[in-house]
A and B are shown apart, each in its own frame.
Chain A
Amino acid sequence: KQEVTQIPAALSVPEGENLVLNCSFTDSAIYNLQWFRQDPGKGLTSLLLIQSSQREQTSGRLNASLDKSSGRSTLYIAASQPGDSATYLCAVTSNSGYALNFGKGTSLLVTP
């Protein structure tokens, strides 16, 4: 069974810092990996999707990398802002199915 782990569980940084969120998964036979953002009491917003054949994806200040062989992905946020405060979730789709397996998330607080 695919297990997805996110470290750290919580992170607090001052505004302007660059930061890295980590995601690891136990089964490298993945179809793709998706990073989401969830604001308190809200739904999930898709940030980046990386196919298994890709190494990274970028959107604005966000960059996600994927090392499938080692079972790891990172989400890099440049020049963090208070508006980036949210929970960030990593999820993988295995080759054997279409459902997403989620990590527990990293709760990010960016202080002014």
Chain B
Amino acid sequence: DAGVIQSPRHEVTEMGQEVTLRCKPISGHDYLFWYRQTMMRGLELLIYFNNNVPIDDSGMPEDRFSAKMPNASFSTLKIQPSEPRDSAVYFCASRGDLYNEQFFGPGTRLTVL
């Protein structure tokens, strides 16, 4: 298995632009998580899905953020409009069937100018 795949790996955009981050979980995993990592706050959960349904979105910072999972093999995290404070590394992770072990993708480094 190729592991969790994220794209793009790096994104540089200007304030006010729409940003879409993409994730392909490990095949057969039924949970998908989006996390954000910053120097100040460390790693924080944004949202997670179970069987394509959002379960907990309490970590989504504000209405500018939205996430979807249209099928078991694809999820998006969208920021519209983007702001400089959204600059961070965004990780996607998926969970296997046993013991809630989570496997992380390589992350997307987002820079909003």
A binds B: yes
Q: State the A residues within 8 Å of B (CB).
A: 31-32, 34, 36, 41-46, 49, 51, 89, 91, 93, 97-105
Nearest chain A residue, comparing its CB with the CB of B101:
A49
Q: How far is the CB of A94 from chain B (nearest CB, A)?
A: 11
Q: How far is the CB of B41 from chain A (nearest CB, A)?
A: 9
Q: Contacts A99-B33, A99-B56, A103-B42; is A43 near B100 (CB within 8 Å)?
A: no
Asked if B100 contacts A32 (CB within 8 A), the reply is: yes
Q: Please name all residues of chain B whose beta carbon is closer than 8 Å to the beta carbon of A45 when the two chains form the complex.
A: 104
Decide yes or no whether B102 CB sits under 8 A from chain A. yes
Cα distance A51–B99 when bound, in Å? 7
Decide yes or no whether B22 CB sits under 8 A from chain A. no
Q: How far is the CB of B42 from chain A (nearest CB, A)?
A: 5
Q: Is the interface of A mostly helix, strand, loop or mixed?
A: strand
Q: Is the interface of B mostly helix, strand, loop or mixed?
A: strand
Q: Please name all residues of chain A whose beta carbon is closer than 8 Å to the beta carbon of B45 when the two chains form the complex.
A: 99-101
Cα distance A2–B103 when bound, in Å? 21
Q: State the B residues within 8 Å of A (CB).
A: 31, 33, 35, 42-45, 48, 50, 55-56, 59, 91, 93, 95, 99-107, 109
Q: How far is the CB of A87 from chain B (nearest CB, A)?
A: 10
Interface centre among B35, B55, B102, B103 (most CB of A within 10 A): B102
Q: Please name all residues of chain B whose beta carbon is closer than 8 Å to the beta carbon of A32 when the two chains form the complex.
A: 99-101
Q: How far is the CB of A7 from chain B (nearest CB, A)?
A: 14
Q: Please name all residues of chain B whose beta carbon is closer than 8 Å to the beta carbon of A34 when the two chains form the complex.
A: 101-102
Asked if A49 contacts B99 (CB within 8 A), the reply is: yes
4 nearest interchain CB pairs?
Answer: A102-B43, A44-B104, A43-B106, A99-B45
Cα distance A43–B107 when bound, in Å? 6
Q: Contacts A34-B101, A49-B101, A104-B42; is A98 near B95 (CB within 8 Å)?
A: yes
Asked if B56 contacts A102 (CB within 8 A), the reply is: no
Nearest chain A residue, comparing its CB with the CB of B92:
A43
Interface centre among B50, B59, B101 (most CB of A within 10 A): B101
Q: Please name all residues of chain B whose beta carbon is closer than 8 Å to the beta carbon of A97 when the two chains form the complex.
A: 56
